[in-house]
A and B are shown apart, each in its own frame.
Chain A
């Protein structure tokens, strides 16, 4: 346990001093506030820019708070996800390749402590970023469009946390299993591209981890199917445990890949 703590502190210091704990949350805040602001002021912006033909009438749909949270979620799922994956995809493989892991691995350190410290710190960064991002989105949504129930908002947030933990389990375990390049390719295929595929042909099934974030937003909209939500949540949690075990196993298996 002591070693896990030591390693966790080391990971925290890395995220803090390399500014990962600053710039990744900032990206999420920017993504979060952009949708409510842009949608609300779009009419004014277009009017101010001008060049509209005489008598041109624009129809803007009436947006509900949940629509804006859904839009923000879309941003997090595309840009935010790529940022998170690329920030942590090298967390184990890069240390092995540049030799910094060597002086850790010669000490009596367990693969479990090594993997868990990295996964937990990556998840913390993701959770902090998502919280701030959604807080920013909610702040402007509530000012410009109206508020939502706090319990619904929290349910949505917690659902998204599970998704973030899932994303980080995949990212860090791929980093444990492969070289950075291969790991990045696989994580990008599973996560952002998986999301795209799920959006295109996902209407044929209801239970996949990729749908989890949208189910979270449906809490706010009040349209969630609790059965589907629960099944998706359970599937995601099971997959998290599986990726975690795979990650620990891979960390152990690739112990000797570290550069001496």
Chain B
């Protein structure tokens, strides 16, 4: 049974539809990546799931919960904290507001902060925190009440490569205990942790499924033969009746690599390399986002 059911979710602001009839489900203990270019409606979709923003139409249902807010943790893209509270005070307050009983709330808050790597900053004011520390604190406040569903809006986009790796590893660990829905515009991050990918484009869900399935669908495999001279490339391309791009000649994959090599062995021209290529994640992203028609 799925954990989250989103049906026909739509949001319009004075005539402009930002999220348009989006439906999907999320299975328990899975990781779902919401992918799309800037302005595709990722944040708006998340805001509606959290209940911060009221949808124009459609429904969001979390299995077994009436008030969705009690069972979710949310990390906005730019989390803002009260500068006059310490990290521990903040997380403790967050836990209490989410209904953690007061008995073990301090202990649990300390554990959570240690878990995200802020064990040595428990009593520091949040105003002194760096971007990476704020992101960790943001994760801490989102998980301290052990929510069923964790919603993260661009959890790593603002971080440097090291911070990105650390936070992604943290999220991967968290996925053992909870269900995660996160948005990103960086496919390489999604590759590290995802069971399901949702592609948003101009508010519409244009593609969904496992990343492997999407990769296969858009892989567009072909052979690329690179010649040393344009002359040779031109001759070979016209002989094979295929397209050519500078020194490179692209061949469809209806032949085996052996056949290609045999064909090339008959050529006099100097060959630099022969390879079988598939579309990169970035190319797939562009293709799904509709920026490139052919690759």
**Which A residues contact B (CB, under 8 angstroms)?**
2-3, 6-7, 9-10, 13-14, 17-18, 98-100, 102-109, 255-256, 258-260
Contacts and interface: CB of A to CB of B under 8 A. Distances in A.
Nearest to B90: A103
B102 A2 contact: yes
Contacts of B47: 256, 260
Contacts of B80: 98-100, 102-103, 259
A18 B82 CA distance: 11
Contacts of A2: 96, 102
Interface in B83-134: 84-85, 89, 93-94, 96-99, 102
B69 interface: yes
A100 to B, nearest CB: 5
3 shortest interchain CB distances as A-B pairs: A99-B80, A17-B84, A107-B97
25 contacts: A7-B97, A13-B85, A13-B89, A14-B84, A17-B84, A98-B80, A99-B79, A99-B80, A102-B76, A102-B79, A102-B80, A103-B74, A103-B80, A103-B81, A103-B94, A104-B97, A106-B50, A107-B69, A107-B94, A108-B69, A108-B70, A108-B97, A108-B98, A256-B53, A259-B80
Contacts of A260: 43, 46-47, 52-53, 76-77, 153
A252 B69 CA distance: 15
B52 A105 contact: yes
B84 A106 contact: no
B69 A103 contact: no
B247 to A, nearest CB: 49
Contacts of B276: none
Given A2-B96, A260-B153, A106 B51 contact: yes
A6 B96 contact: yes
Contacts of B89: 13
Which of the four size classes fits the interface of chain B?
20 to 34
Contacts, number: 72
A42 to B, nearest CB: 42
Interface in B148-172: 153
For B47, B52, B72, which residue has the most chain A Cβ atoms within 10 angstroms? B52
Contacts of A6: 93, 96-97
A20 to B, nearest CB: 11
Interface of B: 43, 46-47, 50-54, 67, 69-70, 72, 74, 76-82, 84-85, 89, 93-94, 96-99, 102, 141, 153
Contacts of A255: 52
B54 A106 contact: no
A106 B53 contact: no
B76 A99 contact: yes
Given A13-B85, A109-B97, 6 more contacts: A14-B84, A98-B80, A102-B79, A105-B52, A106-B52, A108-B69
B82 A106 contact: no
Contact of A256 (B52, B79, B96, B98): B52
A13 B76 contact: no
A14 B82 contact: yes
A188 B168 CA distance: 50
A98 B83 CA distance: 12
A242 B226 CA distance: 79
A260 B141 CA distance: 16
Given A13-B84, A18-B84, A99-B78, A256 B54 contact: yes
Nearest to B84: A17
Nearest to A17: B84
Contacts of A9: 93
Nearest to B69: A108
A100 B138 CA distance: 12
A258 B53 CA distance: 9
Contact of B81 (A13, A17, A100, A108): A100
B49 to A, nearest CB: 10
Nearest to B98: A107
B53 A10 contact: no
A109 B145 CA distance: 14
Contacts of B70: 108
Contacts of A17: 84
A108 B68 CA distance: 8
A10 B69 CA distance: 20
A98 B127 CA distance: 14
Contacts of A258: 52
Contacts of A18: 84
Contacts of A10: 82, 85, 93
Nearest to B53: A256
Nearest to B96: A6
Contacts of B141: 103
A100 B76 contact: no
A93 to B, nearest CB: 15
Contacts of B54: 256
Contact of B99 (A14, A104, A105, A108): A108
